[in-house]
Amino acid sequence: MKQVLQESSNYDKSHNPALPDKKKPWCLNCRLHTNWYSAYEGRAVDKKHKVLRCKVCDGPTYWLVNPKTFNLASIATVLFVFLVGSALATNGFGLAGGPAAEDEFFTGLFCFPFGIFAAYMLHSRSKGVRKKWEEFDKWVEEQSEG
């Protein structure tokens, strides 16, 4: 089921959708910066997620994210989880006034598998980010040659 949120266009009349612009959404199917709309997709019983759809082909439209920026944010997130886990498990927040309380210790230990899971999920997501970025770069090269 698709529920349209709002009609959206991020272009002025002088915009050429064939000119590459990393700040505008890009349709992977049309290989253009087409007009887009927002929609929630998913069954009513499932959690719905917001997607951008191309007005031309109804295909997915993506806001491009630089893979380096995504990787840096991912590393920072995972490191933060590990640091919080270490601090809780060793009573770092109590400034070493004594051993960690049992609930803090187990919460800190829980942060380690959670951090590993987060690293795995972010790494998996990074593959998709890189693929879309490579497709866009390929398209940019095609546009500059033609």
* pLDDT tens per residue across span 94-131: 555 666 677 777 777 888 888 888 888 888 888 888 88
- Map tokens 């612009």 to a residue: 21
Supply the DSSP string of 67-118, one letter for each residue: HHHHHHHHHHHHHHHHHHHHHHHTTTTTTTSSSPPHHHHHHHHHHHHHHHHH
Predicted local confidence at residue 7, as pLDDT: 47
Q: How much is the pTM?
A: 0.59
- How high is the pLDDT of residue 76? 92
- Position 97 scores a pLDDT of 63
Which residue do the tokens 């031309």 mark?
Answer: 56
Residue 110 corresponds to which tokens in the numbers above? 């829980």
Q: pLDDT digit string (tens) for 41-92?
A: 766 556 677 788 888 888 888 888 888 888 898 899 999 988 888 877 777 6
**For residues 9-15, average pLDDT:** 56
Which pLDDT does position 35 carry in this prediction?
84
**141 vs 101 pLDDT, higher one:** 141
Beta strands in 2-66 (DSSP E): 2-8, 26-27, 36-41, 49-54, 60-62
Rounded to the nearest 10 degrees, what angle do helices 67-89 and 102-145 cross at? 170
Confidence of residue 4 (pLDDT cuts 50, 70, 90): very low
- Domain boundaries along the sequence of the chain: 2-62, 67-145
